[in-house]
A = this chain, B = another copy of it.
Amino acid sequence: MSTTRQPRLLERLEAAGLRATRQRLLVLDELAREPHDVTAQELHRRLRANGERIGLATVYRTLGALADHGIVDTLAHAPAEACYRLCGEGHHHHLVCSGCHRVVELAECGLDDWLAAAAAREDFVATAHRVEVTGLCASCRRAA
């Protein structure tokens, strides 16, 4: 079983009105130690590889519920396959390394002024936005 379980995760489950089942904690644990984003299938495969008993449908249902409550982010960079990632609670964006697929959260957004201006130019009011930056991290740059 895991050693990285964060009490924080339990609180978040509770706050979302979700029962703290063994399976949900497994999913959260696995997400917590994963710096990349993962698909439901991959997550399930890993848990099974670790000898855990959990059904694929449960992984899907759990990720769906967590996403509904904002506990995980759903990244859709690969159409036809959703990726999930445990994420901070505030507004943030992702920086993905095209070499190793590592994902870093950009804490500060700082785009609000730009957004408001760009939207206003089209007579829109911006209500939400999503930025995904692709780049190369230091180690992948060296490797290349």
Contact = CB atoms under 8 A, between A and B. Distances in A.
A119 B110 CA distance: 13
> Which of A79, A128, A141 has the most B CB atoms < 10 Å from its CB?
A79
A124 B110 contact: no
Report, nearest first, the 5 A-B pairs whose CB atoms are least far apart: A124-B135, A79-B82, A128-B134, A76-B79, A126-B135
Interface of A: 74, 76-77, 79-82, 93, 95, 97-98, 104, 106, 108, 110-111, 114-115, 118-119, 121-138, 141
Given A76-B76, A79-B74, A134 B127 contact: yes
A104 to B, nearest CB: 5
A136 B127 contact: yes
> Which of A80, A104, A126, A133 has the most B CB atoms < 10 Å from its CB?
A133
Contact of A124 (B74, B95, B108, B121): B95
